[in-house]
Amino acid sequence: MSYSDFTVEAARRFNEQAGEKAQPIYGCVTSGLLWRFLKLDGNQMTVDLKDYSLDPLGDLLGKLVWMCGDFNTTPVKVTHVL
């Protein structure tokens, strides 16, 4: 398990102890230049093996927007960044 795996597992346990309803937990790990995303749903860890870079920034922002929005849809691609 990687550090990010332990982090989302700790978040799941924290939520469980707080009496929160079980739901998927999303996370990411970055080197500062490359980003990788993961999801913990129950006991199943899913890791997106694609490394997202800052260029094009739209791909990275699209993945972050998707994580914060409707998780049942395909990740969006942000085409305009101000």
Segment 69-76 long-range contacts (CB within 8 Å, at least 24 positions apart): 71/24, 71/26
16 close to 23: Cβ distance less than 8 angstroms: no
Structurally, how many domains does the chain consist of?
Answer: 1
pLDDT, tens digit, 9 for 90 and up, residues 30-69: 888 888 888 888 888 888 888 888 887 778 788 777 777 7
21 within some domain: yes
29 within some domain: yes
pTM above the 0.95 mark?
no
Tokens encoding 75? 């990740």
- Burial class of residue 41 (count of CB atoms within 10 Å of its CB; 0-12, 13-18, 19+): middle
80 within some domain: no
What is the DSSP annotation of 59-77? Answer: HHHHHHHHHHS-TTSPPP-
Domain encompassing residue 19: 3-53
